[in-house]
Amino acid sequence: MPPAPFKTRFAPSPTGLLHLGNIRTALFNLLLARRQAGVFLLRIEDTDLDRSHADHTAALMLDLHWLGLAWQEGEGQGGEHAPYLQSQRGPLYQHYFSLLEQQRLAYPCFCSDRQLGIERKTQLAAGRPPRYSGRCRALTTAQVEERIRAGELPSLRFRVPAALTVEFEDRVRGPQRFASDDIGDFVIRRSTGAPAFFFSNAIDDALMGVTFALRGEDHLTNTPRQILLLEALALPVPDYGHIALVVGPDGAPLAKRHGSRTVRELRDQGFFPAAITNYLARLGHTYSDNRFMSLDELAAGFEVARLGRAPAHFDETQLLHWQHEAVHRASDEELWAWMGTDVHALVPADARRAFVEAVRANVWFPVDARKWARIVYSNELAPTAAAREAIRQAPAGLFGEALRLIERHPDDFKSLSEALKQATGIKGRNLFQPLRAALTGELDGPEMVKLLPLIGLERARHRFQIIGNQITVKSEK
Ligand code: GLU
C-alpha cells in the first residue's frame, strides 16, 4: 500500500457566516497541506440540526472559493470518503456506537439535563472539577431495557478508563498530559440520536484519512477524549495542533466591536482576497519575508513551528496595509471593475485609465474611488471644514489670478502653479494648499498634476469663480 497522503481539513459547523477567525483556521490548514504537497479537505459538521443551515454551508463554500482556498476533497468536490456532510453519515456513526456498546466501552445513560446540572453545580461549589458521577455506569441490561420500554430515551456515554494518563505531542503547544480520572465518562450520542461533536469529529478524521488536525485552542481539552475514543476503536489518531485564538486589542476574543467582520462583509466592502490571506497568514504565524505573497508563496514559507502560542492580536491597520498593497498591485482593468457602477457612471470612457492612475494611491475601497469620482466630476463641491479654512486664509488675490491663469494652463497644474507663483509671489504651502482646497474641497488626496486634467478647464474655472465670489461677498461685509 502506498503511504497515506498528508491531509489536513477544515471542519466548520454551518451555524453562521464565516468570519476572520474561522477563515484563518481554514487558511492555515490549506497552507500546511500545500506546503507538504498534501490534500486539504472540507468537511461540514452539521450534526446540530437545529443550528445548522444548508444556506450557511453554501455561503461558506462561496467564501472559500472567493478567497481562493480550494480544497481537493470534500463537500462539493467529492472524494473516496464521501459523504462529507456529517448529517449524512449517521449509519457510519451507528456502526461505531454499536462496536463500543458490544465491547462495553459505552453505556446508555438516563440522567436528565436537570439532574446533571445540579450535580455540576454541587461539584463546582465544592471546588471540584465537574465530572459525570457514573450513576448509570453499572445499570444491568435488564434495567436498561426496562427504562427504554417505559419510554425513556438514553444518551450513550463513553466509559473512560480509570487511572490513565493521556499524553500527546501538540504540534503547536508541545507535550500535553491529561489524567483520565479528570475527564469523566462523556456523552458520545445524545438522547436525540445525534452524535456528539467529540465523536463524529474524531471518527471522521480517522475515516477520512486526516493526518493533521490544526484547530483552535478551544478544542485542546477535547483532544484527550478524542484520543481515548480512537484508541478504543483501534482507529488512527491524527497529529493535533492547537492554535491560539484571535483576540481584539483588549485581549477579549475577537468580536464585532474590534472590527471583526464576516467574510461576506469584507467582500462587500471591497477587500481583495489576497489582502485577507496576506494578513491572516501573519496573524499568529511569522514570516521572515514581509512581501506581499501569493498563496503558493505563503505556503512555501508556512511552518507549524512558526505558529505562536500566545493569543494573536487582530490589528485593523495591518489588514488595511495589506489591502493597500493589493490595490497597488491590481491592474488598471481590475481596479476599474472593482470601483463599481457609481464610478463607472461618473467617469467618462476616455478618462478611465487616467482616473484609475490618478486615484490608485489614495483608495483602499470602492467607496474612496466614489468619493474622488464625485470630487472630480461633480458641479457642486462640498469642501471639508479644514479646506474651507485654507480657502479663507488664502493670500488675497490668489483666486482671482488663478481664474485668469487657468485659461492659459487649462490642464497643466505644474505650469499653472508656476505662473501663479510668478504673478503673485506666493509659493510653497501657501500656494498649494488653497489651490488644492479650491479645486477638490480637500487638503489631501491624489496628485494635483493628475487630477487637474480630469477636472478640466470648465469645472476648474467654475470652482475658482465660486470661491472668488464668496470671498468678495465676505470681504464686503
Ligand atoms: N466543527 C468544529 C468547529 O467548527 C471543528 C473543530 C475541529 O476543527 O476539530 O469548531
Using a 10 angstrom Cβ sphere, with 0-12 exposed, 13-18 middle and 19 or more buried, the burial of residue 99 is: middle
Using a 10 angstrom Cβ sphere, with 0-12 exposed, 13-18 middle and 19 or more buried, the burial of residue 158 is: buried
CATH number belonging to domain 379-476: 1.10.10.350
Ligand 1 near 219 CB (within 6 A): yes
Ligand 1 near 45 CB (within 6 A): yes
Instruction: Quote the cell numbers at residue 175.
Output: 507535550
For residue 308, the CA-to-ligand 1 centroid distance in Å is 20
Nearest CA to ligand 1 atom 5: 11
In tens, the pLDDT along 399-441 reads 999 999 999 999 999 999 999 999 999 999 999 999 999 999 9
Domains 1-77+244-329 and 89-243 share a fold: yes
> Nearest to residue 249, comparing CAs of 240, 257, 241?
257
Mean pLDDT over each residue of the chain, to the nearest integer: 95
For residue 220, the CA-to-ligand 1 centroid distance in Å is 11
Name the residue ranges covered by the structural domains of the chain: 1-77+244-329, 89-243, 379-476
Instruction: Tell me which of 3.40.190.10, 3.40.50.2000, 3.40.50.620, 3.20.20.80 is the CATH number of domain 89-243.
Output: 3.40.50.620
The residue whose grid cell reads 462496536 is 99
Query: Which of 7, 8, 9, 13 for a ligand 1 pocket mutation test, highest count of atoms within 8 Å of Cβ?
Result: 13
> Nearest to residue 42, comparing CAs of 68, 15, 8, 1?
8
In tens, the pLDDT along 227-240 reads 999 999 999 999 99
Instruction: Quote the cell numbers at residue 161.
Output: 478508563
The model's pTM is 0.93
Ligand 1 near 100 CB (within 6 A): no
pLDDT of residue 2: 75
Half-sphere exposure of 410 (CA within 13 A, CB side): 7
Radius of gyration of the chain measured on its C-alpha atoms: 32
For residue 384, the CA-to-ligand 1 centroid distance in Å is 49
pLDDT of residue 92: 98
Q: Assess contact for 185 and 159: CB atoms under 8 A.
A: yes
Strand pairing of 155-158 and 186-189?
antiparallel
Q: Assess contact for 276 and 23: CB atoms under 8 A.
A: yes
Ligand 1 near 201 CB (within 6 A): yes
pLDDT of residue 129: 84
In tens, the pLDDT along 58-112 reads 999 999 999 999 999 999 999 999 999 999 999 999 999 999 999 999 999 999 9
Ligand 1 near 47 CB (within 6 A): no
Ligand 1 near 448 CB (within 6 A): no
Ligand 1 near 8 CB (within 6 A): no
> Nearest to residue 178, comparing CAs of 213, 129, 126?
129
pLDDT of residue 254: 86
In the predicted model, is pLDDT for residue 476 greater than 70?
no
Asked if residue 273 has a cis previous peptide bond (ω within 30° of 0), the answer is no
In tens, the pLDDT along 239-279 reads 999 999 999 989 898 888 887 899 999 999 999 999 999 99
- Collapsed DSSP state (helix, strand, coil) of residue 42: strand
> Nearest to residue 319, comparing CAs of 363, 265, 282?
282
For residue 219, the CA-to-ligand 1 centroid distance in Å is 8
Q: How far is C-alpha 73 from the chain's CA centre?
A: 22
In the predicted model, is pLDDT for residue 29 greater than 50?
yes
Atom of ligand 1 nearest to the CA of 10: 8
Query: Which of 24, 47, 215, 237 for a ligand 1 pocket mutation test, highest count of atoms within 8 Å of Cβ?
Result: 215
Atom of ligand 1 nearest to the CA of 9: 8
Residue 307 confidence class, pLDDT cut points 50, 70, 90: very high
Ligand 1 near 213 CB (within 6 A): yes
Q: How far is C-alpha 268 from the chain's CA centre?
A: 13
Class of 1-77+244-329 in CATH: alpha beta
> Nearest to residue 159, comparing CAs of 137, 142, 189?
137
Highest mean predicted confidence (pLDDT) among 2-6, 118-122, 152-156, 375-379: 152-156
Strand pairing of 312-313 and 246-247?
parallel
Give percent above pLDDT 70 in the chain: 98
Structural element, H or E, at residue 419: helix 413-424
> Nearest to residue 23, comparing CAs of 73, 60, 71?
60
Structural element, H or E, at residue 229: helix 223-232
Nearest CA to ligand 1 atom 10: 12
> Nearest to residue 8, comparing CAs of 192, 188, 209, 174?
209
Q: How far is C-alpha 295 from the chain's CA centre?
A: 15
Ligand 1 near 14 CB (within 6 A): no
Residue 471 confidence class, pLDDT cut points 50, 70, 90: low
